[in-house]
Amino acid sequence: MRNPLTLTINGEQHDLLIEPHWTLLHVLRGQIGLAGSKENCLEAECGVCTVLLDGKAVNSCILLASLCAGRSIVTIEGLGDPEHLHPLQAAFVKHGAVQCGYCIPGMILTAKSYLDEHPDRMPSRDEIREAISGTLCRCTGYQKIIDAIAAVAAERAGKGAQEDAP
């Protein structure tokens, strides 16, 4: 028995018919064709399915799609495209933070959520470590991921300092 549902994803409305038990990840990948949100444990243990819900990073694999009505969903496809990379995406590529890349959409969205929540200061590397600790990466040892996030944060802090300057 499928029910109608309207979701706002990357700023666009999608009118859907869904089963009540479908997760947001299932709908994104299976119904809408946004495969950038990745699939692995389906138990909120690995973080590769992370999306932004009203700006906050959430594991879409355990979130019922029906609970997302009326809320803003942003997936990795909503951040930038290969010709117009978001600063976090550009930094991940530049700093060698991408290897197999399977965890990277979730990592980037987790980082965005964290940086957006802390707009006024430069986080330490340990704070960045803490912020991304819910997303497993097996390839990189996290070092270059932290480099990339720190670089974006530093650039933002630099810009802020310039704007504040008299």
Partner 1 sequence: MRPNQNTVAGRRLPRLDGAAKATGRYVYGTDVTLPGTLYGKVLRSDMPHARLTRIDVSAARAMRGVRAVITSADVPQVRYGNAVKDQTVFATDTVRFVGHPLAAVAADTLEIAEQALSAIAVELEPLPPLFDPEAALAPDAPLLHPDWQDYVALPVIAREGNIAGRSRMRHGDVEAAFAQAHRVYEHRFTTALQHAGYTEPRAASAAWDSTGVLTVWSNGQLPFEVQATLADILELPVSRIRVVVPGIGGGFGGKLRIGVEHFAALLARQSGRPVKMITTSEEELIAAHPRQAAIITVKTAVSADGRILARQGRVVVDCGACSGSGPGTGAVALQCLVGPYRTPNLLMESLAVYTNKVPSGSFRAPSGPMANFAVESQMDIIAKDLGIDPLEIRLRNIVREGDLGPAGEVLKDVSIEECLRRAADAIGWHDRAAEPGRGKGIACSWWMTTGGSSAVFIKLNGDGTVALTSGAVELGTGALTGAAQILAEELSLDLEDVRVATVDTLHVPYDYGAQGSRTAFSVGNACRAAAADLRQQLFALVAAQHGVPAEEMMLRDKCVVAGDKRIPLADIARQQYTGGGLVARGTALNPPPAYDPARVENHPLPVWNTPSFHAHAADVSVDTETGEVTINRYVVAQDVGYAINPTYIEGQIEGGVSQGLGQALSEEIVYQDGRVLNANLTDYKMPTSLDVPPIESILVECPSAAGPYGAKGVGEPPCIEPPATIANAVAAATGLWITSLPITAEKILLRLKGEP
Kindly list the residues in this chain that would bind partner 1 in the complex (CB under 8 A).
29-30, 34-43, 45-46, 48, 75-77, 79-82, 85, 89-90, 92-96, 98-105, 108, 128-130, 132-146
Provide the minimum distance between the beta carbon of 158 and partner 1 in the complex, in angstroms, as a whole number: 22
CA–CA separation, 57 and 5 (whole Å): 22
CA–CA separation, 82 and 29 (whole Å): 20
Query: Residue 119 has which token pair?
Result: 């707009």
CA–CA separation, 107 and 51 (whole Å): 10
Query: Residue 142 has which token pair?
Result: 């996290």
Name which of 30 and 160 has its Cβ closer to partner 1.
30
Name which of 39 and 160 has its Cβ closer to partner 1.
39
Name which of 93 and 160 has its Cβ closer to partner 1.
93
Phi, psi of 64 (to 5 degrees): -65, 135
Provide the minimum distance between the beta carbon of 142 and partner 1 in the complex, in angstroms, as a whole number: 4
Provide the minimum distance between the beta carbon of 151 and partner 1 in the complex, in angstroms, as a whole number: 14
CA–CA separation, 159 and 67 (whole Å): 37
Query: Residue 10 has which token pair?
Result: 């990357």
With contact defined as beta carbons under 8 Å apart, do 47 and 106 qualify? yes
What are the strands, taking DSSP E only, across the chain?
A: 3-9, 12-18, 50-53, 56-59, 72-74
Name which of 55 and 96 has its Cβ closer to partner 1.
96
Provide the minimum distance between the beta carbon of 115 and partner 1 in the complex, in angstroms, as a whole number: 15
Provide the minimum distance between the beta carbon of 45 and partner 1 in the complex, in angstroms, as a whole number: 4
Name which of 5 and 48 has its Cβ closer to partner 1.
48
